[in-house]
Amino acid sequence: MKPDDDAHRPHGEAQNTDTEACAACGAPPAPAPVQERRRGQIKIEPDTVERDLMKLVLTIVELLRQLMERQALRRFDIGDLSEDQEERIGLTLMLLEDRMAELRERYDLGPEDLNIDLGPLGPLLPR
């Protein structure tokens, strides 16, 4: 197509993407394409900003809790801890899990809501 044939192109295909009207018929320019929200992407709205922020914070805390739990289990298995240390770590992890459940309930979140999809890498949390 020749450069002077812009008037014969369908709307939205003209070379000029400014906010000018169509030279051929005066129609307004085609709107820019709207990008679709990717699956698992956090959507923040004014009405739900507190819940969304809590979801993000709880996701990070849950990730750290699971990492600490795995580290504690590894240390239990190799016998690196005294009985007192094992008891304190076990109690602390149980209390943290209970508190997490309370906060999820308060903000109407399930455990699956905290597992962010990382696309080709898979879910953030293993369970």
Residue pLDDT, tens place only, 27-42: 766 655 544 555 556 5
- HEC secondary structure over the chain: CCHHHHHHCCCCCCCCCCCCCCCCCCCCCCCCCCCCCCCCCCCCCHHHHHHHHHHHHHHHHHHHHHHHHHHHHHHHHHCCCCHHHHHHHHHHHHHHHHHHHHHHHHCCCCHHHHCCECHHHCECCCC
Report pLDDT digits (tens) over 49-83: 888 889 889 999 988 988 999 999 999 999 989 99
pTM of the model: 0.58
pLDDT of residue 114: 85
Q: Name the band, by pLDDT with cuts 50, 70 and 90, for residue 90.
A: very high
